[in-house]
Structure 1
Amino acid sequence: MQLPLITGADPARTLDALFVNAPLRNYDERPRANDYTLPVLGMAYIATYAQKVGGFNVGVLDAEAHGLGIAETAKIVNDAQPRWAAMNLLAPTYEMSARIAASLDPAIALMVGGHHAKAMPDRVLADPRMANLQALVLGEGELRVAALLEDHQHRRELPAVLWRDRLLGTRAVGVPVGKPNPQMLGPDINALPYVNRAFLPQDPYQAAPTETDRRLAVSRGIDLLKEAARNGHMEANIVGSRGCPYNCTFCGAAVSANPDLTIRVRDPENIIGELDELHDEYGVTAFRFVDDLFLGASRVIKTQMEAFTQHRIGERYVWDATGRINVLDRLADSEFERLVENGLREVALGIESGSDRILDAMDKRIDAEMTERVARRLVAHGIGVKGYFILGFPGETHDDIEATVRHIRNLWSIADSNPGDVRASVFEFRPYPGTPVWKTLTDAGHDPDRLLAYGDVDLTADGADESMRQRDEFNFSVGIQFGDVPLTTVRSTLATLTREQHERNQTAQGTAA
């Protein structure tokens, strides 16, 4: 059987499950503009466990990566005829997922998970387009999905698995036999098999050389970096931990939104084993840690860096990671130097705003002065900074948004006189169900249906055509003005900053050439 665009499955066997990542937009109506989209690592973890531990024949259909529309996605699933179709539900893509689900053959059982399913399970269960939904899995799914693939009747024995009794019209919940096994809800992440990259159509990937690569080649002088400055790295995304101890009010990973989630960090030897395996199999020399904790807790940094030093990681690889500004602010210079020696290339920081008032409202536990201090220390050590910023946050004033613009330009100025680079990535605020700010907004009278009405925004009228190319998956809005600043001003400011960042990138590439 031919399985077009389905990755990781054995076409000679019956397909037990097809994991479907819905497109952000209906690409039947217009082509996808991005060249690259982030890999669905969580889905790939579940598929890998089902395949390698459960022995099931499973595949992944990443409709966003392939730029598929709703009709084409549904047709591929129906033609493949898996026993189960599984979808990760996210607020911006929920409508796409529901419309695909409504078009599936009734003989295909449906299971769902993901942040939106966890935040609004009853709404999902009641959606008539989800009529064939046999299991809604709350939280981490590896062990419970494998049990469902073995026999869907296992759902009655599994914790945090829901479904709708169509005869009685009631919500049904799995009841574990005896004492619940905590591993079912939070598996040992060191015991999970490494992600089978065959499930990911765009990871590993060949990356173009960047300004950060060029600066590192000059400042560190390692042959690996000199080669990357010319031809780029083969790169891969990786997860070093699960869970986050912070409570940023806009974030779906906020600790108050995930009281069931146990925070766990992978052992350094387990992580290094995956780095080496990806290098041996695919030639990967650059890694991006996409979890919240790799540079977000002092004890984690210390433990991981001791192992990285022992294995001489910095002589063989470079890597990027997300970090916490307040944690990095407490590091000694010697610890920054150790990060450099171990191959740290760039840190992604949730800076969010240049207004201390808005940062307090976000519960970020930082201020603008701290951010500039940390950024200065990072770039002085030759470590790049990618800063994420939010415009249009509830209660934001014109003064607040102007403070953010000044803050970004200050950070650029700091980078201009140091070996490390600063990149700014700016977004319009979007509310997500289950987050602390969602409750604040609904308690204030906002209609949940309007808060969920995600639509794409075309910012090209502001002259940011090419600079918006790689942002196609991020330009979404619910079309509500949450602060004092009109949406037209929020979006024109966003476009201006994005265009300025794009021009900085182009200038740097021209200088490097």
Structure 2
Amino acid sequence: MKVLLLEHPRYIARERCNDIANTPLSSSLISGYVAGMLSDRGHEVKIIEGYLEKMSYDEIFDEVRDFSPDLMAVHLVYSWGNNQNLFALINKLKSDGSAKFVLVYGFYPTFAYEEILRSCPALDGAVISEPELTLAELTERFDGTGVPKSISGMAWRNEDGSLEVKRRDPVENLDDLPYPLRTPVMMKMYEVNLEGSRGCYGGCTFCYINPYYGREHACWRGRTPEHIMSEIDQIIAKWGKKEFYFTDPNFFGPGKRGQERALKLAQMIKERKIHFGIEARVNDIHEETISALVEAGLRDILIGLESGKDDSLKRLNKMTTVAQNERALKILRKYGIEPNVGFIMFEPDSSLADIRTNLEFLLRNDLLKNLAITANVLYHPQIILQGTKAYQELKKAGRLVLGATTYEGAADFADPQVKTLAEAMSQITNHLFVKMNDIWSGRVPEPEDAEGRYQKLNQLLVQSFSHGLEQLESGVVFSNEEISQIVAFQKQKMNEYLPL
């Protein structure tokens, strides 16, 4: 059977330049894992890298038509747009017979399948949660006429137009999955993405990792170190790569068992003489394990601090404390790792006192000295996505505000003064991100005096945030016109140091 997997083009509007991509990094391997599973079962599989190859929809149409797949599946990634260009492509492919059966899969359609299927009648269904076993079963039983009703992990339309969904249990043993197929354009990237585990043992209100797998509670599953090492060895032998990044949202896994597994991984990785990065919870940062991982080649780590106030961490159901945040920072720095950090400066229920505590935490822990990190943490609001506990709670309380899609919601800030600061910092930092985008993405080189410029820009951001917070704390209320004037003034000052 001929199966085509499409990574569709994705564009981010300028006003969303400083928002995180609304899909976990682990989804970068989702098509590769599907392709690996289907190829292993004897199917002819083609991946079209529409995003990485910067392809137009006309170019994609020609490739699909030339391949003429029996089944086409699109890794649908939410990118803040309405997907009309993609849906138009699907309609065109279906109408001329180039693609007879088309599905979507990924985090986005797992939660928004109802809206997506109704917006694009040409789609034949959506894969819910992990797609490998579902698509493997579908291809084995596919007769070209529709979705067999007994297949789990799918959402589809009934003859009367109603939607039906049947979930599938998560893959229990990740070692049973074939290695993901990697396309040549993926291997041009500096780091090779690896997936050492799936899920998380946490339950943060803003996260939809576990709900994606159909579980409200802990759903962490780890591959064995031996299986991971076998894949790394294969990549080194085939591609000669030495830089890796574990895309797992929770590298360590729970408790003592997770630490012991990490130590075994460190011992085995050390023999390969590679460099790698990971993502982790702060309560999993222990000196013995970090020491071993750094010795093995750990160079980068993302940790989710989220807040500098214990009440906020409880509100987010983070199951960590400020003391653990600070302890993790000290351990990582002791071993030469300056982490990237996840931080939610503005929650819907934040008060000015919360914002002040957050700012003092960031200053006290030297987290406002790197321009890219400063710009993120001084702006970042809580993103409210379908599938999360926060989305459900705000909807139940009547506070959820939806825009063009049901997938991303918003909630007005309970404190109007917090809203003022959040809106101003959003515009100021977005101006910086837009101007710096080509440099930070590596498309253009940094200016010769980059360090001095970045220090000045960093100071301006911290000063503007601090000054704005002080004025709001003193009771000053700004009109919309005054906010616009302040933002324009800050942009003008930043332009003196921003590269042209």
Q: TM-score range by the shorter chain?
A: 0.7 to 0.9
Counterpart residue number, 2:388: 435
Per-residue Cα deviation, 1:56-94 (whole angstroms, up to 9, x for no partner): 122222333233455554554345432222123344357
Counterpart residue number, 1:507: 451
Q: Is 1:125 aligned to residue 117 of structure 2? A: yes
| Equivalent position SS for 2:94 | coil
Counterpart residue number, 1:394: 348
State how 1:21-100 maps to structure 2 within 5 Å: 21-25=7-11, 40-51=28-39, 53-69=40-56, 73-74=60-61, 76-78=63-65, 80-92=67-79, 95-96=82-83, 97-100=86-89
> Contact conserved, 1:204 with 1:237, CA < 8 A, in 2?
no
Counterpart residue number, 2:90: 101
TM-score (norm 1): 0.71
Structure 2 Cα separation of the partners of residues 312 and 428 of structure 1? 37
| Equivalent position SS for 2:148 | helix
Structure 2 Cα separation of the partners of residues 76 and 194 of structure 1? 25
Letter of the 2:451 partner, please give it.
Answer: T
Specify whether residues 288 and 44 from structure 1 end up closer, same or farther in structure 2 by C-alpha distance, changes over 3 A only.
same
Structure 2 Cα separation of the partners of residues 510 and 91 of structure 1? 31
Q: Is 1:191 aligned to residue 176 of structure 2? A: yes
Letter of the 2:307 partner, please give it.
Answer: S
What's the CA shift for 1:391? 3.7
Structure 2 Cα separation of the partners of residues 42 and 75 of structure 1? 24
> Contact conserved, 2:112 with 2:406, CA < 8 A, in 1?
no
Letter of the 1:267 partner, please give it.
Answer: T
> Contact conserved, 2:201 with 2:253, CA < 8 A, in 1?
no
Letter of the 1:507 partner, please give it.
Answer: E
| Equivalent position SS for 1:196 | coil
Counterpart residue number, 1:157: 150
> Contact conserved, 1:296 with 1:324, CA < 8 A, in 2?
no
> Contact conserved, 1:78 with 1:105, CA < 8 A, in 2?
no
Q: Is 1:297 aligned to residue 289 of structure 2? A: no
What's the CA shift for 1:495? 5.0
Counterpart residue number, 1:224: none
Per-residue Cα deviation, 1:241-298 (whole angstroms, up to 9, x for no partner): 1111211111111459731885321000011111222122222212111112323434
Q: Is 1:361 aligned to residue 348 of structure 2? A: no
Specify whether residues 406 and 262 from structure 1 end up closer, same or farther in structure 2 by C-alpha distance, changes over 3 A only.
closer
State how 1:378-417 maps to structure 2 within 5 Å: 378-412=332-366
Aligned residues: 423
Letter of the 1:282 partner, please give it.
Answer: W
> Contact conserved, 1:135 with 1:155, CA < 8 A, in 2?
no
State how 1:298-337 maps to structure 2 within 5 Å: 298=255, 299-309=257-267, 311=268, 313=270, 316-328=273-285, 331=286, 333-337=287-291
Structure 2 Cα separation of the partners of residues 25 and 423 of structure 1? 23
Letter of the 2:262 partner, please give it.
Answer: Q
Unaligned 5+ segments in structure 2 are: 441-445, 456-500
Q: Is 1:274 aligned to residue 231 of structure 2? A: yes
> Contact conserved, 1:385 with 1:423, CA < 8 A, in 2?
no
Letter of the 2:93 partner, please give it.
Answer: L
Unaligned 5+ segments in structure 1 are: 1-14, 207-234, 455-476
Structure 2 Cα separation of the partners of residues 124 and 340 of structure 1? 44
| Equivalent position SS for 2:403 | helix
Specify whether residues 508 and 489 from structure 1 end up closer, same or farther in structure 2 by C-alpha distance, changes over 3 A only.
closer
| Equivalent position SS for 1:294 | coil
Letter of the 1:249 partner, please give it.
Answer: T
Per-residue Cα deviation, 1:130-172 (whole angstroms, up to 9, x for no partner): x23323222111122122223435733312323112x422334
Specify whether residues 83 and 164 from structure 1 end up closer, same or farther in structure 2 by C-alpha distance, changes over 3 A only.
same
State how 1:242-261 maps to structure 2 within 5 Å: 242-254=198-210, 258-259=214-215
Counterpart residue number, 2:397: 444
Specify whether residues 398 and 20 from structure 1 end up closer, same or farther in structure 2 by C-alpha distance, changes over 3 A only.
farther
Specify whether residues 301 and 374 from structure 1 end up closer, same or farther in structure 2 by C-alpha distance, changes over 3 A only.
same
> Contact conserved, 1:294 with 1:301, CA < 8 A, in 2?
no
Letter of the 2:117 partner, please give it.
Answer: L
Counterpart residue number, 1:212: none
State how 1:207-286 maps to structure 2 within 5 Å: 235-254=191-210, 258-259=214-215, 262-286=219-243
Tell me which moved more, 269-278 or 67-76. Answer: 67-76
Specify whether residues 347 and 447 from structure 1 end up closer, same or farther in structure 2 by C-alpha distance, changes over 3 A only.
closer
| Equivalent position SS for 2:149 | helix
Per-residue Cα deviation, 1:307-350 (whole angstroms, up to 9, x for no partner): 432x362660121111111222xx3x333322222222222111
What's the CA shift for 1:45? 0.5
TM-score (norm 2): 0.72
Per-residue Cα deviation, 1:433-463 (whole angstroms, up to 9, x for no partner): 1110111221122466427378xxxxxxxxx
Q: Give me the identity figure in percent.
A: 23
Structure 2 Cα separation of the partners of residues 58 and 405 of structure 1? 50
What's the CA shift for 1:496? 9.0
Specify whether residues 448 and 151 from structure 1 end up closer, same or farther in structure 2 by C-alpha distance, changes over 3 A only.
farther
Structure 2 Cα separation of the partners of residues 93 and 16 of structure 1? 31
> Contact conserved, 1:305 with 1:342, CA < 8 A, in 2?
no
Specify whether residues 446 and 307 from structure 1 end up closer, same or farther in structure 2 by C-alpha distance, changes over 3 A only.
closer
Specify whether residues 453 and 148 from structure 1 end up closer, same or farther in structure 2 by C-alpha distance, changes over 3 A only.
closer
